[in-house]
A and B are shown apart, each in its own frame.
Chain A
């Protein structure tokens, strides 16, 4: 199913950051978002993931099909790596825990408490969560932060396998992942400062 967003206007903290943006994402394709810091990449991804409403515009084909990975990995320090993954697998109704551990070389760490992992290892655990969700659309916000070269390669191959399986991915990143993917630069969609209508309820306060 096609993920489609039409004519989106997005605000962060009551200030419009993106206006008039449309995108569509077909199964088996990835879309890379680019733009300088503060251009609205995170806001766009959070809106598509359903974490915040758009001021204007429509999103279709997103409900309950999205696995979102933001800046925080949602890892519980006092649970082991395997317990963390098992929890998300049960919540999303997936079961590919062993495959997810394989994909990010987490087997040697599987019984360690997640709180004792390094930043890069935590991120690998956070990314492996995507594999156990079984969701067809991955929405990823700077997924390669704190990953080393090998781990970036693991991530790229996980993405390729996901796309080959008919999934799709929307990725905000600053580095080149070596994917054959369309690139969308959201800088031209920056909202004008006067586009404040409806952005905030300050007028009523």
Chain B
């Protein structure tokens, strides 16, 4: 399992691996918002938590279609399926590698981009906490979507259509936690819900992903 994680991370950092793509996309989307909304610091400060969460979610989505499709095309998935490693573990490791290369950089970059959007000062900590709690769920759910579309040519758009509705609960509670944090309100309810969703998806989704992957590879 460690071998698979190290291999995925190594591939992500080599040429064409796509590390930083999600981060760059996040950066550009968030930078474009002040241009489209106009120079209204108060309004920007109000919508900042939502924009940052939405940007992070879309950036996560961007790299999902490479998650399993590349391994499918070169036959690695077939070989992993015949390996002594349980497929549930393999997809969990791939989701973890995706989070480390996409989700974690987004979490770390979010406070910097919060400055661009005039995010109120009390919101920075809660923004980072809510993203750190929520983005693992995005990776795990995304892995399920990638497994569903693995055999399909040009499955990237279909993947987005399948995965985005599943992202709604995470987005609602994540953005709500960040918004309440920025407004100085109590954040415990949305944070608990967010943590619950993340833990439940980490526990259950790998089984669903492995099951649909077995079907898809027949």
Q: Measuring CB to CB, which residues of chain A are less than 8 angstroms from any residue of chain B?
A: 49-53, 64, 66-68, 70-79, 83, 86-88, 90-93, 129
Contact = CB atoms under 8 A, between A and B. Distances in A.
B7 interface: yes
Nearest to A49: B82
Contacts of B3: 86-87, 90-91
B180 to A, nearest CB: 43
16 contacts: A51-B218, A67-B82, A68-B82, A71-B75, A72-B75, A73-B74, A74-B74, A74-B79, A78-B14, A78-B16, A79-B10, A79-B14, A83-B10, A87-B4, A90-B2, A129-B79
A51 B82 contact: yes
Contacts of B7: 76, 79, 83, 87
A74 B75 contact: yes
Nearest to B71: A74
A75 B11 CA distance: 12
B85 A91 contact: yes
Contacts of A91: 3-4, 80, 83-85
The interface centre, meaning the residue of B11, B73, B76, B79 with most chain A CB atoms within 10 A of its CB, is B79
Interface of B: 2-4, 7, 10-11, 14-17, 73-76, 78-85, 217-218
Contacts of A87: 3-4, 7
Contacts of A92: 83-84
Q: What are the 5 closest A-B residue pairs judged by CB atoms, nearest first?
A: A72-B75, A90-B3, A78-B14, A74-B76, A52-B218
SS of A interface (majority): loop
Nearest to A78: B14
A51 B75 contact: no
Given A74-B76, A76-B7, A83-B7, 8 more contacts: A51-B217, A52-B217, A66-B82, A74-B74, A74-B78, A75-B74, A91-B85, A92-B84
A74 B75 CA distance: 4
A68 B84 CA distance: 12
A196 B76 CA distance: 32
A186 to B, nearest CB: 20
A140 B148 CA distance: 28
A67 B83 CA distance: 8
Contacts of A71: 75
A53 B11 CA distance: 32
A75 B7 CA distance: 12
Given A51-B217, A52-B218, A87-B7, A78 B15 contact: yes
Contacts of B2: 90
Contacts of A75: 74
Nearest to A86: B3
B11 A76 contact: yes
B76 A76 contact: yes
A68 B79 contact: yes
